[in-house]
Amino acid sequence: MEYADGGDLRRYLQKKISTLTWDDKLKLAYQIAEGIKYMHGEDILHRDLHSKNIVIHQGEAKIIDLGIAKSIEDETNLHLGVFGMIAYIDPKVLADPSYNYKHDKRSDIYSLGVLMWELSSGHPPFISETNDSVLTVRLVNGHREKPIPNTPKEYLKLYKLCWHGEPDSRPSINKVFVELGKILGIQDVSNNSNNDDVQDSNSEQSNDNQSSVNNNTDDIMEHKDSNLDKLSIR
């Protein structure tokens, strides 16, 4: 992958959190969601999203480490093990001791919700909990990190939906992308914004007076090749 001048997201937040504005944090969340949206649009699951698998280059967040990413068609119920870091893993996966729970797009959404919380706090979730077994039980029982004071209300509401214990209650990545755009004021807000089928940034309903999305966003669905820099495969 290309050199990432900001390092991974975890280290970046440790160094920069005191100087990052909410607008900065929201833009990072938006960029991460954009990368996941591209993957899910291709029916690819990441399955190991956490802050050390996101890098920052020239101020932009990019998803890396697709070593265990799989197409949905290839996903099986075979014993795959628990990949990644416990706090970012879908509790439905953690709750199945036989590892038969089928990881799907909603599991990536759970991980995104945790990442969104981490962006608000500047540090990894449950940083003081060193016992993975104890943390697993807590997560399966619905325990989540506490909101950070002064978190924008709509952002808080969105990441709580993403890490909801019931996968069916989690929004699609298209919905998350649209909602983050609304919070930032860079995405068209249509009357159908509560519908998971809302089209993304290339919607014909966009108004001329809407602010432009960053250079990699406007043509994401029509020009897939230009979005490959959102996903750097090692």
Instruction: Pick the catalytic residue from 8, 48, 90, 108.
Output: 48
- Tokens at 198, concatenated: 């809302």
Give the integer Cα–Cα distance in Å for 12 and 55: 8
Residue (of 7, 13, 6, 8) closest to 120 by Cα position:
13
* Token output for 45: 């699951």
Strands 60-64 and 54-57: antiparallel
Separation CA 72–CA 63 (nearest Å): 18
CA distance 60 to 8: 11
Active site residue 48: yes
Q: Which residues are catalytic?
A: 48
